[in-house]
Structure 1
Amino acid sequence: MNHLLCGLAANPALPPELVDRLVALALQRAGSAPEFADDLAYSLADRANLRHEQVVALAAQAEHTAVFLARSAKLAADDVDPGSAPRAAVALLDEGRGRPEWAHLLAAHPSSGIRWKLASCPGLPPDVVDRLAADPDGEVVAELALWTSGPVAARLALHPDPRVRLAVAANPATPVESVLALAEDPELSLNWALSERTDLPQSLYARLAADPLTGVRATYAHNRGVGPELIRVLAADPVEDVRRALAAHPHVPLDLLAELAVEHRTGSDLLPRIAAATPAELAELAASPFPAVRMLVARHRDLPAQVRDALAGDPDAAVVQAVAPHPGLSEAALRAMVERYGVQVLARVAANPDATGALLEDLTRHRPGVRRALKEVARHPHATGPALLACLADRTARLLAAAHPALPPEAVTELLGDEDRSVAEAAAGNPSLPCAAMARLLEPADGRGRRG
């Protein structure tokens, strides 16, 4: 029953009276069943209709719940004692809603884990920063070095602990001159540490991009700070993974990107250079004789209507599959895709945000079927009851369908007894679960249904 109650606690349609009973249950079981009480409290913590006294009571029950409540703005500074709930206090400081004096107290906390968390908080008082910079635990100082301001980072670039200096190098706020000095440090290997920096000299990027490790070269291949000349050098790298990674560079020339797409698989995500392309560039690429290039454009989700519709009728199934989830496609166009390419495009058509309930029902009846298509139908906001009932026959789609509010109430109730606990928990959290069924789930737990 515990998994059902945790699912019920997250149900957005749960009546206030049942919320009160679940909160009381979580507090009551804190001593006898602490793990269940923690799980239940955490599930309740995400609710928008908790009263303030309930928030405070749940926060006191488990500190990880208190941290969640603090970060979700349900717990205020007046509700937290930094001495008994230091992690919640740090969370509030990190969110900018804690009290400044807490930072002084927490910087002297005996747990290095608390000081480590504090070190990444923004807006710390200068004397707290100084204290953390002199912390006896190098991991605490390194965490501060990773997030602190430029002047402090420059100071910590001289720290004797190489972990701290490495963190300074990875901090985007560190002044370039400090980074260049660290790059000459014989005790440090900065090949990964500088991968997020976009303001370094091309000579340093060239050195980093010549690293013998393929992964390092691939990482710098899509760093936006790498300039045109080095992009061309990386395009000739002997390792395919490096050349493929270059496709994700936001400033890669379109002619080079087209070559990379034809030669290598560039993944299924929209590439930054395509996302930034002009309508004229998109139209030109969409007219390429190479399907791999047209696929680059087909992954864009804000295409001019003319380009979108042309790609929807593309003679290559992979291109059609890529454009199928594009919003704005008509039902007729989506049905035509299925008629032409069947199982090759079924899942992607089901993922289209404008797919109608009738179309989704037809997709569940397609033979042969596609399991991934059922998963897409089961999570689609337009899915109808009949479509969702069909999804219940598939093991992976069943979990998604069990949580869908369009699933008929009688089916939701039946799934409470599903042998898969995850499915049953999802059904308990379904807002279509009848209120009477919600109440029945609670009766054995809080004793309301027992006879004296």
Structure 2
Amino acid sequence: MNHVLCGLAANAALPPELVDRLITVADADIAADLAGREDLSRAQAIALASRVEEIAVRLVYEGRLTAADIDPTVQPDAALALLDEGAGNPEWARLLATDPIVERREKLAACSRLPSDVVETLAVDADVRVVAELALWTTPEVVARLAGHPHGEVRRAVAANEATPPSVLAALLTGDGLPPVQRCLVCDREEAPFVHDPHCPRLDCDLPPGASCDGSHESTVHDMQQMALGNSATPSEAVARFVDHPSVLLRWALAARPDLPSEVYGQLATDSTPGIRADLAGNPAISESLIRVLADDRGHDVQRRLAHNPQLPLEVLIRLAGTTKTGATLLPRIAAASPAEIEELAQSPDPAARMLVAQRRDLPTEIRDALATDPDAKVVKSIAAHPSLSEAQLRAMVDRHGARVIAKVATNPDATPALLEELTRHEPSAQKAFREIARHRNATAPALRACLADRQARPVAASHPALPEQLIVELLTDADWQVVEAAAANPSLPLAVMSDLVR
């Protein structure tokens, strides 16, 4: 891989004539960077697609190529991408429906608005993977017919299709009104009974780990049920029956559904699997009384997921905040807090509550300023990125809390060039701060030089347009390929150097 040319291909300042020159020498890696250029013309996109066939698919999805630019006999994958976008010629679908490469027929089966005769051809394809892909995406009328397909893999796909009629989904769960499954991927390949070794050493084996068939196609039927339980179109009364099923995965599929009776949620709250209770905790459909029960649940991830539930009572969230790591994010309940609640949180004696509200970026000025001078460093870190803070306020944060807040101060979009330079010289230093300074729009050459000394910040700094030209050129021969690509992509790289690189 030529990292210099890959970086140059992504350089926004590269003039059109040099883009043309790069296209003539592009390999798959360089083409991938060229394809991402916002200024790529239609003529350049056509030339690039003709040189590197696999890049044509990406150019189609990005709207750079149309049906007029594609020959389906030469670029069948690009033709499939256009059909997938609903912009291809229907005749292409008829051509590709009998393509000898199964993966292409499979891709075609996932396309919408196919001609009816093409759908019929795909529905009886000799390869079950094609039929299953059709079942996953096709219309209610076709998918209802495929629900009785003898192969379990097709029924599994029917169960996952949200266009499948509710009555059909219910039948897949109970088996009522459907003929029994006759084949599955396991017994297609092995003689039943067979259980696939989860650590199968065969490199050519594509059976899922633990897949099994004793003649009842049990693992495929299980997967089909799991798909149906997770399908929002499946009737809730059919789903609720699985609340005490012995399979953890089937019970788990219920926990996030918003349409189940309260008694089902109550039963799930006592499930022995913490992951089920955690998914339940994040479900906005559960009652306040159940929320309060789960607030005392010490199971893995239960309380953290509960903290992200938008229906969480504020006092419960405050109680959780002191013991639960929620991350540096604005929680839904805090985003929805009223002005009175915001004031209550900001004045709370609990720093965890103040830290939560500090994540909001629409705070009244007096509350924002009070949080900026908070004695707790965690609160200050939460408010430090607020875009309306002054340079004096940011400096005061650093003076009081030092390295604990430097990285967050460096993320503030209004941090001045002088402040960013000072942050690079702070002792003790904070490694994360260098990465933030390196990507900051106000970073100066001296600040970026300091960032180049940090291994993780070095590639970021190499791409910054404020870096001196001579230094950018020097970085083109750096030992780290990421730095090389970043320097070559730097828009401040001299034009003469760009020209020399693509001779």
Q: Given the two structures, how large is their TM-score scaled by the length of structure 1?
A: 0.86
Q: Structure 2 residue aligned with 1:308, among 368, 372, 376?
A: 368
The separation in 2 between residues aligned to 1:105 and 1:156, in whole angstroms, is: 33
Change (3 A) 1:307 1:227: same
The separation in 1 between residues aligned to 2:247 and 2:34, in whole angstroms, is: 50
Deviates more, 1:410-419 or 1:341-350: 410-419
Q: Structure 2 residue aligned with 1:140, among 133, 136, 145?
A: 133
Task: Indicate the residue corresponding to 1:322 in structure 2.
Answer: 382
Q: Structure 2 residue aligned with 1:290, among 319, 343, 350?
A: 350
Change (3 A) 1:238 1:357: closer
What is the one-letter code of the residue matched to 1:300? R
What is the one-letter code of the residue matched to 1:290? D
Task: Indicate the residue corresponding to 2:163 in structure 1.
Answer: 150
Change (3 A) 1:431 1:205: same
How much has 1:370 moved relative to structure 2?
1.4
Change (3 A) 1:153 1:355: farther
- After TM superposition, the structure 1 = structure 2 runs for residues 294-373 of structure 1, keeping only pairs within 5 Å, are 294-373=354-433
How much has 1:302 moved relative to structure 2?
2.6
The SS at the match of 1:281 is helix
Q: Structure 2 residue aligned with 1:268, among 317, 328, 332?
A: 328
The separation in 1 between residues aligned to 2:84 and 2:386, in whole angstroms, is: 38
What is the one-letter code of the residue matched to 2:46? V
How much has 1:285 moved relative to structure 2?
0.9
Task: Indicate the residue corresponding to 2:40 in structure 1.
Answer: 50
Change (3 A) 1:409 1:191: farther
Task: Indicate the residue corresponding to 2:49 in structure 1.
Answer: 59
The SS at the match of 1:396 is coil
Instruction: Answer yes or no: is the 8 Å Cα contact 1:134–1:141 preserved in 2.
Output: no
What is the one-letter code of the residue matched to 1:24? T
The SS at the match of 1:301 is coil
Change (3 A) 1:121 1:157: farther
What is the one-letter code of the residue matched to 1:376? E
Instruction: Answer yes or no: is the 8 Å Cα contact 1:338–1:346 preserved in 2.
Output: yes
Do structure 1's residue 403 and structure 2's residue 460 form an aligned pair? no
Task: Indicate the residue corresponding to 2:274 in structure 1.
Answer: 214
Task: Indicate the residue corresponding to 1:10 in structure 2.
Answer: 10
Deviates more, 1:45-54 or 1:387-396: 45-54
How much has 1:385 moved relative to structure 2?
1.8
Change (3 A) 1:430 1:238: closer
- After TM superposition, the structure 1 = structure 2 runs for residues 119-268 of structure 1, keeping only pairs within 5 Å, are 120-121=110-111, 136-137=128-129, 140=133, 143-144=136-137, 145=158, 148-152=161-165, 154-155=167-168, 158-159=171-172, 160=181, 161-162=220-221, 163-176=223-236, 179-180=239-240, 189-194=249-254, 196-239=256-299, 241-268=301-328
How much has 1:390 moved relative to structure 2?
1.6
Instruction: Answer yes or no: is the 8 Å Cα contact 2:464–2:490 preserved in 1.
Output: yes
Deviates more, 1:162-171 or 1:409-418: 162-171
Instruction: Answer yes or no: is the 8 Å Cα contact 2:248–2:273 preserved in 1.
Output: no
Change (3 A) 1:281 1:230: same
Structure 1: unaligned runs, 5 residues or longer: 27-36, 444-452
How much has 1:334 moved relative to structure 2?
0.4
Instruction: Answer yes or no: is the 8 Å Cα contact 2:6–2:29 preserved in 1.
Output: yes
How much has 1:281 moved relative to structure 2?
1.3
Change (3 A) 1:123 1:184: farther
Q: Deviations over 1:57-116 (max 9, x none)?
A: 322344441221111111212223445544434433444434455556555555554455
The separation in 2 between residues aligned to 1:397 and 1:219, in whole angstroms, is: 37
How much has 1:118 moved relative to structure 2?
4.7
What is the one-letter code of the residue matched to 1:318? K
What is the one-letter code of the residue matched to 2:44? Q
Instruction: Answer yes or no: is the 8 Å Cα contact 2:243–2:254 preserved in 1.
Output: no
How much has 1:176 moved relative to structure 2?
3.8
How much has 1:25 moved relative to structure 2?
0.9
Q: Deviations over 1:346-398 (max 9, x none)?
A: 00000011111121111112122211111100011111222112211111111
Instruction: Answer yes or no: is the 8 Å Cα contact 1:261–1:293 preserved in 2.
Output: yes
Change (3 A) 1:177 1:119: farther
Q: Given the two structures, how large is their TM-score scaled by the length of structure 2?
A: 0.78
The separation in 2 between residues aligned to 1:206 and 1:104, in whole angstroms, is: 52
The separation in 2 between residues aligned to 1:309 and 1:146, in whole angstroms, is: 54
Instruction: Answer yes or no: is the 8 Å Cα contact 2:473–2:487 preserved in 1.
Output: yes
Change (3 A) 1:129 1:10: same
How much has 1:294 moved relative to structure 2?
0.9
How much has 1:192 moved relative to structure 2?
3.8
Q: Structure 1 residue aligned with 2:28, among 27, 38, 51?
A: 38
Change (3 A) 1:398 1:248: same
Instruction: Answer yes or no: is the 8 Å Cα contact 1:112–1:140 preserved in 2.
Output: no
Q: Structure 2 residue aligned with 1:382, among 442, 445, 461?
A: 442
Instruction: Answer yes or no: is the 8 Å Cα contact 1:392–1:398 preserved in 2.
Output: yes
What's the % identity of the aligned pairs? 53
Q: Deviations over 1:182-212 (max 9, x none)?
A: 7788889423434553233333333444332
How much has 1:226 moved relative to structure 2?
2.2
Task: Indicate the residue corresponding to 2:144 in structure 1.
Answer: none
Change (3 A) 1:206 1:134: farther
The SS at the match of 2:462 is helix
The separation in 2 between residues aligned to 1:289 and 1:53, in whole angstroms, is: 64
Instruction: Answer yes or no: is the 8 Å Cα contact 2:410–2:433 preserved in 1.
Output: yes
Deviates more, 1:169-178 or 1:347-356: 169-178
Instruction: Answer yes or no: is the 8 Å Cα contact 1:166–1:193 preserved in 2.
Output: yes
Larger radius of gyration: 2
Deviates more, 1:260-269 or 1:290-299: 260-269
Task: Indicate the residue corresponding to 1:77 in structure 2.
Answer: 67
Deviates more, 1:126-135 or 1:330-339: 126-135
Instruction: Answer yes or no: is the 8 Å Cα contact 2:256–2:282 preserved in 1.
Output: no
Instruction: Answer yes or no: is the 8 Å Cα contact 2:245–2:251 preserved in 1.
Output: no
What is the root-mean-square deviation in Å for CA atoms of aligned residues? 2.9
The separation in 2 between residues aligned to 1:356 and 1:47, in whole angstroms, is: 31
Do structure 1's residue 92 and structure 2's residue 92 form an aligned pair? no
